[in-house]
Structure 1
C-alpha cells in the first residue's frame, strides 16, 4: 500500500517507517488528526522536546483549527532551542525566547497550578493556545479574540473545528509538509 493510500485509509492507524522519504510533493497531503499527532510527536522526540506527545497533540490541534501547526512546529524545530525551568518572578514568567512548541504544556500546567501569569519573551506563543483551551484557562492575546482577558471561559470556540478534523482528517499545505518532512530525523 502506498504511503498516500495508507494515510487516506481511515482504518490505518500506524504510520509507515518510510513516510518522510515518500512524500508526494505535487499532491495534497491528507492525514488524520491522530496520524499528524504521531508524526509531530516523533519529530519533537528527535529534537529533544521534553513532552513530545503533548507537542504532537498541540501541532495537530493548531492545524485542525486553521493555525498552521505543521509550519509552526517546523520553524520551531529548525531553530536551536533549550528547555526551561519555569520560575515565577514579580512580573510573572520570563520564557527567555524558548519556543512554546517545547515548553507550552509546562507553561499551561504552571498556570493551572499557580494561577494567572504575565508572560515575557515568548517565542511561538501560538503553541500555548491548545493547552489553554484544553485546561479552560483564558489568555489575553490578540491571536484569539474569543478569549476574555483573564478568568474562565464558558465555551470552547474550537470544538466544532476539532470534531470535523477528527471525522474528516486534515489537508496539510504542500510546502509546509515538505519542510516538515525534511526536518532531521
Structure 2
C-alpha cells in the first residue's frame, strides 16, 4: 500500500533532487505532495542543475519550472507518513520559515521516515533534530551538520528514521534505502508469455 509523502521544495532547489524522487516515489505507488512556503498548488518553483565538472565546487545552471501539487498552508504534516527534503540552494532560505521547521520537527517527534540529501540537511540542522544521528550531506554542509550534533560519514547513510545522501549521484542507493525504510514492496513483473 502506498504511503503519503510530503516533499518540501523551493526556488533553485536542485533539479534532479526534486524531479527524480518526486517521479520515482510515485512510480512505485506512493502519493507525493510537493509544497513550498508562500506558493500554492499549480504555481511553480524554478530549479537549478548542479553539475560536477572537476572544479572545486559544482556548476549551477537554470533547470526547469517544477509545478507544486499542494499548498503548504493547507497541509497537515500529521496526515503524511514520510518526508522528503531535496537539496540545492533552496534549503538556505526554506529553513527560515517557521512552518518548514515545524513540519520537520513533527516527522522526527513521531519517528516517521525522512529522506534528505545534498543541502537538505541545512533545514534539519535548523530544526534542531540531528542530535545523535549518523548521517551525511553535501560535504560543504558537513560543518553545519556536525554543529547540530550528528556524526557525519561519507556515503549514503540510514540511521533510524533518517536516510541521507550527498548529492544526486547517490540517487539509486539513497532511494533504495528510503523505499526500504518505507516498507515499499516492489515485486518484479511476471515475464510476458508468447501466445
Higher relative CO (Cα under 8 Å, sequence separation at least 6) belongs to: 1
Output the TM-score relative to the length of structure 1: 0.27
More helix by share: 1
Return the TM-score normalized by structure 2. 0.27
